[in-house]
Amino acid sequence: MVYNFRIFKKCSPNGKLTIYLGKRDFVDHISEIEPVDGVVVIDDDYKDRKVFGQIVCSFRYGREQDETMGLNFQKDLYLASEQLYPPPEKYNTTKLQDRLIKKLGPNAFPFTFRLPPNAPSSVTIQQVFKNEVDYTITGPDEEGKPCGVYYYIKLFVGESEIDRPHKRSLVCLGIRKIQFAPSKQGRQPCTVVRKDFMLSPGELELEVTLDKQVYLHGEKIAVNVCIRNNSNKVVKKIKAMVQQGVDVVLFQNGQYRTCVATIETQEGCPIHPGSSLQKIIHLTPLLIFNKNRRGVALDGQLKDEETSLASTTLLASSDPSDVFGIVVSYAVKVKLYLGALGGELTAELPFVLMHPWPSTEKPAVKEKDTSDSPVNAFQHQDTFDRGAISDDDSN
């Protein structure tokens, strides 16, 4: 049997440390995260030195151009650290590591890092794009790395794990921690809200139902709206929207919402007293319609590749103290406008927006029973081709 591997490679500035990885995206299965495994090639000049490896989660929560007078808006969390050379006596290797070691020779040594189960997903917060002359949306207005959560593997030469390495003997390669949509749907989201009026009889009832709970990026969201007007007020228009919720866990008040899809309609309106209306509204949250909005959360990027709106963050623990990083959620919000004197009536339903599993991959961890699903809890080759190696200079 023949296996074809794509290998990512990066060297230190002096060329004496080289890292090889089979992939740069590592999947969070909720119950566990895929191990980060690869191979490091060490030059003969470093055979009498120690080589250490670390997984660093870099959390940037402020603009780089605002860092003045020693102020720093970035925290680096070391999620895994170990000595790679001299290697331990016994080491369980994967099939890819065995083939790399066979191909690269005796100076190649395997490594495996395991991330903690509560490690945050890779998320980027979109920056503003503005022209300095006429203030049209044309070019980047902010410089430096955008806010977000980033991961990279750090290999260096030193005497201990806490040494400050020299840049010439340091190699860093960016990776991502991602999640995919669960195969099982949760309960169908549905809510009913009512509003009565102090000086008039009857009440206004709004029922909102989604056709399912888990949606894929680019998929239309069907919002079933049922309005029963048993009051003497008149419903003048309906507004439906998808809101992206971003919770920067580092701050006490670091929560905000951004509308990423909206429809405002008067079709079927006005809804007079004693009448009702049932209709389906379709919403599609896409990044292409939100490229000019500051603060929209995006999936983590490697280099300048295309990305999308950030996926919903599924958490293994419901305890807020176990969560850090940036947590993303989505909700459909339907609002009825009753005029200046009648006010408004609003209903809200959370849902999950994620990417599907790639067709070439399957979940490595068996899913639990539906009752324990994190979605239900979300209610509020033998040959090695050297030509396939890609040198990557991004962090």
Peptide bond into 86 cis (omega under 30): yes
Structure tokens at 203: 């009440």
- Within-domain flag for 395: no
Higher pLDDT, 183 or 340: 183
Among 178-192, 194-208, 218-232, 248-262, which stretch is predicted with the lowest mean pLDDT? 248-262
CB atoms within 10 A of CB 8: 20
What pTM does this model have?
0.84
pLDDT (average), residues 363-384:
41
Which residue carries 């609002």 as its tokens? Answer: 335
Judge if 230 and 128 occupy the same domain: no
**240 belongs to a structural domain:** yes
Average pLDDT over residues 251-257: 79
pLDDT in tens, 274-286: 999 999 999 999 9
Provide the pLDDT for residue 142.
57
For the chain, percent of residues with pLDDT exceeding 70: 83
Residue 218 sits in the same domain as residue 264: yes
Hey, which residues does 350 pair with through a beta bridge?
331
The answer for residues whose C-beta is within 8 angstroms of residue 144's C-beta and 6 or more apart is 63, 64, 65
Same domain, 135 and 218: no
DSSP string, 135-178: --S-SB-S-SPPSEEEEEEEEEEESSTT----GGGEEEEEEEEE
Verify that 196 and 296 share a domain, yes or no.
yes
> Do 99 and 160 sit in the same domain of this protein?
yes
Residue 278: give its domain's CATH number: 2.60.40.640
pLDDT, mean of residues 352-367? 70
Classified as helix, coil or strand, 371 is: helix
**pLDDT beyond 60 at 1:** no
Report the pLDDT averaged over residues 57-77: 80
Under the banding of pLDDT at 50, 70 and 90, the label for residue 31 is confident
Residue 36, H or E segment:
strand 36-42
Residue 174 shares a structural domain with residue 199: no
Q: Are residues 173 and 221 in the same domain?
A: no
Four-CA torsion 105, 109, 115, 121, nearest 10 degrees: -40
> What's the domain count of the chain?
2
Q: Tell whether 16 and 125 lie within a shared domain.
A: yes
**Final residue before a domain boundary, out of 153, 178, 203:** 178
Do 285 and 233 reside in the same domain of the chain? yes
Q: What pLDDT shows up at residue 325?
A: 85
Among residues 178, 203, 238, the one where a domain terminates is 178
- Above 50 in pLDDT, residue 365? no
Beta bridge partners, 111, equal 38
Same domain? 309 vs 329? yes
Residue 69 belongs to a domain with what CATH number?
Answer: 2.60.40.840
Quote the percentage of the chain above a pLDDT of 90.
57
Residue 139 and residue 213 in one domain: no
End residue of a domain, out of 148, 178, 208: 178
Contact 288/305 with Cβ under 8 angstroms? no
Cα–Cα distances (Å) from 22 to 6, 19, 222, 337, in that order, read 6, 10, 39, 54
Residue 379 counted as domain residue? no
Structural domain includes residue 392: no
Mean pLDDT score across all residues of the chain: 84
Which token pair is 273? 């007293």
Q: Is residue 56 part of a domain?
A: yes
| 18 & 148 share domain | yes
In a domain, 184, yes or no: no
Residue 185 belongs to some domain of the structure: no
385, part of any domain: no
Q: Which domain holds residue 158?
A: 7-178
Higher pLDDT, 361 or 343: 343
